Amino acid sequence: MTRDALVAAAEQAIRQGSKSFRMASRLFDRTIRERAWLLYCWCRHCDDVCDGQELGRGGSVGPAAMADASALTETVLAGGTTGQLPFDALGAVLAECPIPHGYVRDHLAGFALDERGWSPRTEDDLLLYCYHVAGAVGCMMAVVMGVPPDDDETLVRACDLGIAFQLSNIARDIKEDHAAGRCYLPSDWLAEAGVERDRLLDPEHRATLVALAARLCILAERYEHSARAGIPRLPFRARWAVLAAAGIYGRIGRRVRALGPAAWDERVVVPKRTKAAVMLGALAGAATA
**DSSP codes of every residue in 189-226:** HHHHHT--GGGTTSGGGHHHHHHHHHHHHHHHHHHHHH
Which H, E and C letters describe 32-85, residue by residue?
A: HHHHHHHHHHHHHHHHHHHHCEECCEECCCCHHHHHHHHHHHHHHHCCCCCCCH
DSSP tag of 119: -
Task: Tell me what pLDDT residue 116 has.
Answer: 86
Cα separation values, 229 from 4, 36, 117, Å: 35, 22, 35
Task: Tell me what pLDDT residue 63 has.
Answer: 54
Contact 162, 107 (CB under 8 A): no
Using one digit for the tens of pLDDT, what is the confidence trace for 39-83?
A: 999 999 998 887 765 544 444 345 567 889 999 999 999 999 999
Q: What is the arithmetic mean of pLDDT over 204-231? A: 97
DSSP tag of 123: H
Does the pLDDT at position 215 exceed 50?
yes
Task: Tell me what pLDDT residue 50 has.
Answer: 79
Using one digit for the tens of pLDDT, what is the confidence trace for 226-285?
A: 999 999 999 999 999 999 999 999 999 999 999 999 999 999 999 999 999 999 999 999
Using one digit for the tens of pLDDT, what is the confidence trace for 121-137?
A: 999 999 999 999 999 99
Q: How confident is the model at residue 22 (pLDDT cuts 50, 70, 90)?
A: confident
Per cent of the chain over pLDDT 90 is 85
Does the pLDDT at position 14 exceed 80?
yes
Cα separation values, 109 from 14, 44, 66, 123, 143, Å: 22, 15, 10, 18, 20
CA dihedral 248, 251, 253, 259 (to 10 degrees): -140
Average pLDDT, the chain: 93
Reported CATH class of domain 101-289: mainly alpha
Q: What is the arithmetic mean of pLDDT over 185-194? A: 98
Task: Tell me what pLDDT residue 60 has.
Answer: 38
Task: Tell me what pLDDT residue 57 has.
Answer: 40
State how far the Cα of 241 lies from the Cα of 99, in Å rounded to an integer: 20
Task: Tell me what pLDDT residue 52 has.
Answer: 67
Q: What is the arithmetic mean of pLDDT over 97-103? A: 98
Domain ranges of the chain: 1-96, 101-289
